[in-house]
């Protein structure tokens, strides 16, 4: 797995907003948070998947093996394939990760319905493991702090 500081540094240089940078930083911490959530890893134990997740303009290639994120690399990566992508605006992620998110920001599919997120590609791995992805992508909620931009 790439060093998280390296990933954050990659994007931090390219991001103008402190809050956007906080969202990227939070994404880099998801693999470690997942490793500390054994029940969630068990939920995803049948899942092996390449996917693209993260803020709309700065997503990550995630390699999932048996429910663990074994690699998280900032896109673009030359000719790297993915089966599905879930990308949301940094503001939407920041709202989603509040302790009590506002209505409309509290669920991945609420975000797609309101147009703040896009779900694309071959959706089968996402739908077949929907609660897993909802819970994995909510992991930063436990320690995310909104940064005023």
Kindly list the residues in this chain that would bind other proteins in the complex (CB under 8 A): 100-101, 103-104, 106-110, 112-114, 123-124, 127-128, 130-131, 134
By beta-carbon proximity to other proteins, the closer residue of 17 and 131 is: 131
Q: Which is nearer to other proteins, 131 or 142 (CB)?
A: 131
Q: Min. distance of Cβ 91 from other proteins in angstroms?
A: 17
In the complex, minimum distance from the CB of residue 100 to other proteins, in angstroms, rounded to a whole number: 5
Distance CA 62, CA 71 (A): 6
Residue 70 and residue 1 in contact, taking contact as beta carbons nearer than 8 Å: yes
Name the token pair of 77: 């990566």
Nearer to other proteins, 104 or 121 (CB): 104
Beta bridge partners of 64: 49, 69
- DSSP strands (E only) in 47-116: 48-55, 60-65, 68-74, 84-88
């Amino acid at each position: 797995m790439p060093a998280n500081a390296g990933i954050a540094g990659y994007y931090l240089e390219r991001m103008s907003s402190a809050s956007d940078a906080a969202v990227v930083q939070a994404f880099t911490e998801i693999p470690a948070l997942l490793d500390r959530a054994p029940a969630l890893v068990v939920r995803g134990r049948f899942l092996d998947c390449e996917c693209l997740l993260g803020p709309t303009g700065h997503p990550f290639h995630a390699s999932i093996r048996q429910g663990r994120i074994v690699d998280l690399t900032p896109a673009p990566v030359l000719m790297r394939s993915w089966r599905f992508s879930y990308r949301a605006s940094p503001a939407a992620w920041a709202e989603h990760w509040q302790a009590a998110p506002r209505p409309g920001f509290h669920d991945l599919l609420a975000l797609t319905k309101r147009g703040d997120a896009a779900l694309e590609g071959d959706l089968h791995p996402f739908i077949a493991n929907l609660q897993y992805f909802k819970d994995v992508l909510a992991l930063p909620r436990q320690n995310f702090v909104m940064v005023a931009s």
